[in-house]
Amino acid sequence: MADLPVDARRVVDELTAIRQAAGMSPRSWSPSETFEGVLIEATQPLVHESQHVEWLHRNWDLGALLAPPPARGVKGLVRRIVHRLVMAVMAPYFARLQDYLGVNVRAIDAVSKRVDEIGTNQLRLIGAVRRDMIDFAHNVDKRLDG
């Protein structure tokens, strides 16, 4: 920082003059209210715990849908025969579809966890920046006073 040709005292004096010309005291400065809004809205539920991800976890397994029909009698016999015919032709497709759905659910799970991590880290950083800005404002006030 010593290499920079900036005189901090001159910058503070210019900022003070601008604020006083506008009729505002530097002591009344506080961080932007947008920080408060972001921190208040941080109580949103995690993406990983959303209804959509839960639905995917409950419904990705096609085993129950592909099981033979449990009905008895002539109607049940016809349904089981049709089921066997359909499964004889479509079983490889259904197996690949089941694998595809499983991979998608795992990928969505990983992405939603990462999104939650990034969001949490961003809120933590915003809080840290806000605290630093408040400390900076107090330090500027102290410098201006003495």
pLDDT tens-digit map of 84-97: 999 999 999 999 99
What's the pLDDT at 128? 83
What would you measure as the largest C-alpha separation in the chain, in angstroms? 98
Task: Give the pair of three-digit tokens for residue 56.
Answer: 């995917």
pLDDT at 40: 56
pTM for the model: 0.57
Residues of the chain with confidence (pLDDT) below 70: 1-9, 11-12, 15-16, 19-20, 22-44, 146
DSSP state of 44: S
The whole-number pLDDT of residue 103 equals 94
